[in-house]
Amino acid sequence: RLLPLLAVMMLVLTGCGQDPFLSALTPRGPVAEQQFYLIKLSIYIMMGVFAVVMVIYVYVLVRFRHRPGQTGIPEQIEGSHKLEIIWTTIPLILLTILAIPTVKITFDLAEKFPTDDALQVKVIAHQFWWEYEYPDLGISAAQDLYIPTGEKVQFQLTSEDVIHSFWAPALGGKTDTNPGMVNAMWLQADDPGVYKGKCAELCGDSHTLMDFKIVAMDRPEFDAWVEKMKEPHVSSSDVAEGEQIFADSCISCHAIDATQGLDIPDFAPNLRNFGDRVVLANYFNMDDETIAEWIKNPEKMKPGNLMPGFADELDDQQLASLVDYLNTLSVK
Ligand code: CUA
């Protein structure tokens, strides 16, 4: 019975390890590396405990099995000081071995907390999307978080509604976002790439769909991205119809100016760089058909989100125009 269970566990572990941008087992930054060391340490200790317990278990099963011709009750033992001391001391030693590096790394990471010169990002969690403000850069973004590589990024995390948790496993451990409270942490991405993140706290109907991406790029590229985000979107006449629909139906909730409303949490995701999104609504395929489906009936795709559906208001042709316009909201 144990073998299939172990096989499944191995599969789960290797499955998680395969995606280098999602797994805590493939750290891609200094915070994740130190935490990975603790993960390994606790797994080795657990494996040792498991092996010893199994050996004793099998030995006892065999040694004290029922033998033919055996009658009556075996010798009864009540309490053993020696045994109790042994099975109290061993866990105490193991927990101490685990506790010392855990406390040390916790303090070490706190000591390395970046100064205020480092890039500041304010993460505001919403049901079920992520808002990012860069107070020093004067821009705001949503869903995909852009950061420079090779430097510490300081995070201030909070929530607008319920408790969520911000977790990009390959970069570092999760931090809760609590309404009315600000938590701090720091992360660093060593290499450019798109790191996957998840909301790691059950937060409502669409908790499982509350993913996010961290797009790490080298400093010059990041600076260029910031400059483009600051520029107002200039629309082209090709998408004039879609722009008009957006102005009539969408702009009361969705800003398309990244420099707007920095001091207050956004009501809906800022769409300044919507066309650059890695995925739609932090989970779905970023193609025209899916975007149109989303606008028609967001509730069906992501239950419990606040966006109203436009299935009754917009016909297919209008939807197509709107999608064309949305795709032009790009800074690339
Ligand atoms: Cu937000 Cu789970």
Q: What is the CATH number of the domain that holds 282?
A: 2.60.40.420
The dihedral built from the CA positions of residue 257, 261, 263 and 267, taken in this order, carries a sign that is: negative
**CA geometry: angle 236, 238, 239, nearest 5 deg:** 80
Cα 162 to ligand 1 centre (Å): 8
Given the cut 0.90, state whether the ipTM is greater than it: yes
Kindly state whether residue 201 falls inside one of the protein's structural domains. no
Kindly state whether residue 70 falls inside one of the protein's structural domains. no
**Angstrom distance (rounded) from CA 21 to CA 25:** 10
Q: How many domains does the chain have?
A: 2
Cβ atoms of residues 269 and 131 within 8 Å: yes
Kindly state whether residue 33 falls inside one of the protein's structural domains. yes
| pLDDT score of 230 | 94
Kindly state whether residue 140 falls inside one of the protein's structural domains. no
| pLDDT score of 16 | 53
Kindly state whether residue 282 falls inside one of the protein's structural domains. yes
Q: Residue 7 phi/psi, 5° resolution?
A: -60, -45
**Angstrom distance (rounded) from CA 54 to CA 89:** 19
Residue 198 beta carbon below 6 angstroms from any ligand 1 atom: no
Q: Which atom of ligand 1 is nearest to the CA of 128?
A: 1
Residue 211 beta carbon below 6 angstroms from any ligand 1 atom: no
Euclidean distance between the first and the last CA atom of the chain, given in angstroms as a whole number:
54
Q: Minimal CA–CA distance to 213: which of 177, 171, 158, 267?
A: 171
| pLDDT score of 173 | 81
| pLDDT score of 261 | 76
Kindly state whether residue 222 falls inside one of the protein's structural domains. no
Cα 206 to ligand 1 centre (Å): 7
Q: Concatenated DSSP letters for 271-331?
A: -TTGGG-SSBTTTB--SHHHHHHHHH-HHHHSTT-SPPP-TTT--HHHHHHHHHHHHT---
Cα 199 to ligand 1 centre (Å): 4
Residue 277 beta carbon below 6 angstroms from any ligand 1 atom: no
Cβ atoms of residues 306 and 129 within 8 Å: no
| pLDDT score of 207 | 96
Q: Which domain holds residue 279?
A: 237-327
**Angstrom distance (rounded) from CA 162 to CA 158:** 10
> Splitting the chain (332 residues) into consecutive groups of 10 residues, what average pLDDT does each group show?
77 63 85 92 93 96 89 86 93 94 94 91 95 95 96 96 95 93 95 94 95 96 96 90 94 91 86 93 92 94 93 93 95 90
Kindly state whether residue 243 falls inside one of the protein's structural domains. yes
**Angstrom distance (rounded) from CA 49 to CA 97:** 13
Residue 124 beta carbon below 6 angstroms from any ligand 1 atom: no
Cα 62 to ligand 1 centre (Å): 49
Amino acid (one-letter) located at 27: P
Domain finish residue from 70, 94, 111? 111
Kindly state whether residue 216 falls inside one of the protein's structural domains. no
Q: Minimal CA–CA distance to 172: which of 152, 146, 201, 143?
A: 152
Residue 196 beta carbon below 6 angstroms from any ligand 1 atom: no
